[in-house]
Chains A and B, each alone.
Chain A
Amino acid sequence: MSPRSKPIWIVHADPEARALLRTLAGDSAAAEGAPEDFPLETAPAPRAVVLHVGADPAAALDFAYRAARLHPGAGWVLLRDPAAPEEAFAGLGAEVLAWPAEADRLASVLARVGRAAPTGLRARRQRDALARRFARTLGELGLPDLAGLNGGRLLVRGEPGTGRMLVARVVHALADPPGALVQVDCAGERALAELSEKLLAAANERRVVVCLDRPERLATERQRELAGWVELGPPGLALEPERSVWIALVVELAGATPALEPTLALALAGQELRLPPLRRRPGAAEKFAVATLRALAVASGTAARELTREAALSLGRAVWPGNFRELEAVLRRAVARGGAGPLGAEELGIESAAGAEAIEAAQPAATPAARPASVRPLRPAPSPAPGASPPPAASPPPPASSEPVRASSALLQSLAHSLRNPLVSLKTFAALLPEQHAEEDFRVRFRAQAERDLASLEKHLDRLARFGDLDVGARKAVNLASLLEGLLHERRTEIRSRRLIVLSELGADAPWALGSEEALRFAFDALFDATFARIGDRRDLYIACRRPSAPPPHAPTLRILLRFHGAPLSTLPAGEPAPAALELVLAAAALEALGGRIAYESLESGEQVARVDLPAASAEE
């Protein structure tokens, strides 16, 4: 069922209010009911849910929890009584209207909901991620006027790696509605035929953003033909100006750039945006490097590397023919080599990075992500069975003499940190016992604290013992959806008592991992423990499993994503190598022993993200 053919759900305790809302939405197929008795299991999947939060917010929250879990792609509109809570529903990302609402405003929102679903949670998150990358790379340049692009043209010029494609994707993502993005590399032999096919496939979209990459590579005659398409529409297709945007991404390289045919240049140049190379943006290289090092550190759960003053100056002086893409690759490589302390110019290899070879090598997708030093597999896994997906590419090995020390150091620091804190409180209370024993309040608190500390110590020791017993060699296809649902089920009491909303998308993509079920259970149990300790009450936890349709060779092929509002999973004091939580160190070690890896990200919105990549089982397994 396509998103537009899905009905909306109207959830309100008052039947008369539901009838009013249905009329305003103009959706005769709308499903409706009160929060307590809405037919959640049998109603058709909604494109949007209109929920009234009134005298019984607990019932509304319970409904939201169950509905959002079943239909994570749906948009939400909340109609909130003045006294009703709002924060508890924040995880839905809903459009909120005061109830009773002004008739015009209500009709406008519902009519919009009736035409198309509000942007889903997933789409909003993708858009946010895009906006953050744009801010890091091109933030100070600003965007062209989006309103002026409606039915317009945008010509983006720049060297490779300056962010041309990023501009196109942001223009598409921020357009309202975004519609379809039709993207064609004009260097291909079938460029125009491919464009025609893609435009035909998008013929029914309310809006189409056409992105022509490297149109200057087309033969002159083809460029003239394309100019006609831009001005009059593709032959045989109705692509009205008011629902189309044409963006051309032209590569400029000094002395070697094929010229854009003047007719096509004029047809495309409604607005022109020239992205300056990195070497002409004073301070941009250092600023981007600092932001990227922080992002890499958060992703790998390590302390952020800083730059020496000399390195910062060298960044500004370097030529960077590959611009941001090249600089990012250089930083990734430097971090992946390991080590601690500020990065110097020599470690960055700035001199050699400016050469042509570095440009060719500087493809981010081929660069292994930085990962923290971690514990090696206790019992190494055997080679994958024939037909199995290959394990992920390992990061470039650090010097042989330092890796065992770093790995052991990470575990031991984490262990010391985890055991020290319970000892601090036990020791302090014990020392205060002689002087405060007579006070009942002290005795009660001492007992409660001692119980908590001992439970904490026992849990750490139990986890260490289980880790020591893991047999990662017992590889088979493991249904991750079932495993993760089971772990969530074990935490159902806590989920209910803390009013957490768990949104899970686990079953749709055949999430079968290749590995030891025991080790996978251990790793995700530890990860869930860390997550549940950090997530705020009444917040949402999003968990999803993805199997990329075209996995890169020698890379993990199954990704599990956790996302929540709460304290970061990584511990990052500035300037100090910080121990990660013991459960996270052990989870990472177990996953790496299975050929997987884990990374963390802390978003500006306060959301925390954990990404686990694992080898997937093949169909035969």
Chain B
Amino acid sequence: MPRVLVVDDEAGVRESIRMLLRGECEVLAVDSVDAALRSLAETHVDLVLLDLVMPGRGGFALLEELAKRRDAPAVLVLTGTRLEQTAERARVLGAVDCIRKPFEVEALRTRVRELLKGKP
């Protein structure tokens, strides 16, 4: 089963995405960039769902870190900001897509399925 890492400081967002994706993939959830880096060091992950605005290091810091790695997983950004340049910057740093919060459930599920296609 493919593995998805959710990085969001809001427990409710992590919980709701866990419910959304259950049965389709294994969901790991962490509340900070530092915790995400620890998880990525310990576990293979196929896809990262990443919030940008978090206390301390924000999501861009993780994107910058992953941009240096050859085997980095795909990153789908979930953000509340409506600034187009934010999405553009995330894409420049390697994010495959940027979805606005609050997201449409089916749209997110479909996009995750596409990105996990072919993953064991």
Contacts and interface: CB of A to CB of B under 8 A. Distances in A.
Nearest to B64: A574
A436 to B, nearest CB: 7
Contact of A534 (B13, B55, B102): B55
Interface string A425-441: 10111011000100000
Contacts of B17: 428
Contact of B61 (A567, A573, A578): A573
A572 B9 CA distance: 13
Contacts of A572: 56-58
Given A449-B16, A574-B58, A424 B53 contact: no
Interface stretch (B40-48, B67-75, B79-87, B112-120): B79-87
A573 B17 CA distance: 22
Contacts of B20: 428, 432
A477 to B, nearest CB: 35
Given A427-B102, A428-B20, A445-B19, A573 B58 contact: yes
Contacts of A424: 10, 12-13, 16, 101-103
Contacts of B11: 452
Contacts of A422: 12
B55 A425 contact: no
B13 to A, nearest CB: 5
B52 interface: yes
Given A425-B12, A432-B19, A453-B12, A573 B60 contact: yes
A596 interface: no
A602 B80 contact: no
A602 B56 contact: yes
A432 B105 contact: yes
A570 interface: yes
A429 B18 CA distance: 10
B15 interface: yes
Interface centre among A420, A423, A428 (most CB of B within 10 A): A428
A570 B86 CA distance: 19
B96 interface: no
A420 B56 contact: no
A449 B12 contact: yes
B111 interface: no
A66 B9 CA distance: 32
A527 B111 CA distance: 39
B54 interface: yes
A6 interface: no
B53 A574 contact: no
Given A417-B80, A424-B13, A428-B17, A568 B56 contact: yes
A421 B10 contact: yes
A574 B61 contact: yes
A449 B17 CA distance: 12
Nearest to A422: B12
Given A567-B56, A573-B60, A576-B86, A449 B105 contact: no
B94 to A, nearest CB: 14
Nearest to A448: B15
Contacts of A567: 9, 32, 55-56
B85 to A, nearest CB: 9
A16 B81 CA distance: 65
A93 interface: no
A421 B79 CA distance: 10
A421 B13 contact: yes
A578 B53 contact: yes
Interface in A550-588: 567-576, 578-579
Contacts of B106: 431
A569 B56 CA distance: 8
Interface string B15-30: 1110110000000000
Contacts of B9: 567
Nearest to B103: A424
Interface in A337-392: none
Interface in B76-112: 80-81, 83, 86, 89, 101-106
Interface centre among A423, A424, A436, A573 (most CB of B within 10 A): A573
A529 to B, nearest CB: 14
Interface of A: 416-417, 420-425, 427-429, 431-432, 436, 442, 445, 449, 452-453, 456, 534, 567-576, 578-579, 602
Interface of B: 9-13, 15-17, 19-20, 32, 52-61, 64, 80-81, 83, 86, 89, 101-106
Given A428-B19, A571-B54, 19 more contacts: A421-B80, A421-B101, A424-B13, A424-B16, A424-B102, A424-B103, A428-B16, A428-B17, A428-B105, A431-B104, A432-B19, A432-B20, A452-B11, A567-B56, A568-B56, A571-B56, A571-B58, A572-B56, A572-B57
